[in-house]
Amino acid sequence: MEDTAIVYYSLDGNTDHIARRIAEKTGAKLIRLETKRAYPRKGFKKFFIGGRDALFGARPELKASLPDLAPFGNIVIGTPVWASRPAPAINTFLRRAKLDGKRIALFACSGGGQAETCLDKMQALLAGNEILCRVSFINPVFKRGKTVDDAIDGILSALSE
């Protein structure tokens, strides 16, 4: 699957874990988004600042310029769920990237929150693309096993169709 890119943001490692697992199985190119101003990693500020930015649809500046996705027919987009929404770095990507006519798989990682709402918001910003699948994971770093493996296999199956 050389024509596949995985674009994702991860703060606590759950989304990174899933993105890397998909890349290992597909050989896809990993593109990790990072914000210029890092989000707090713990405590009240983590939830307050991250949740506020997610609720208001913030689009923070990214450390690197957006990748050229023209060579890729398949794009996998992964995000943690913040306040039932995608992480702000994903907002930046979805609103600025040149995505049209792509085959897209979406995944969201949460602690049990509103992943479907998050995936709905992502999909709404991807008009003009074919959404292959939408998958949610609950704490995949801690809940490894058949459920996580089956969900990853579902993404792989959708990409190979």
pTM: 0.92
Are 106 and 18 spatial neighbours (Cβ–Cβ below 8 Å)?
no
Measured in whole angstroms, the distance separating CA 11 from the mean position of its chain's CA atoms is 11
Secondary structure element (H or E) that encloses residue 4, with its range: strand 4-8
* CB atoms closer than 10 angstroms to residue 21: 18
CA dist 98 and 96 (Å) reads 7
| Beta strands at 4-8 and 130-138: parallel, antiparallel or unpaired | unpaired
CA gap 51, 69 in Å, rounded? 29
Question: Per-residue pLDDT for 47 more than 90?
Answer: no
Distances in Å between the Cα of 89 and the Cα atoms of 3, 151, 153, 157 are 23, 24, 26, 27
pLDDT in tens, 101-158: 999 999 999 987 689 999 999 999 999 999 999 999 988 877 777 788 899 999 999 9
Q: What is the pLDDT of residues 11-37, one digit of tens each?
A: 989 999 999 999 999 999 999 999 998
CB atoms within 10 A of CB 160: 11
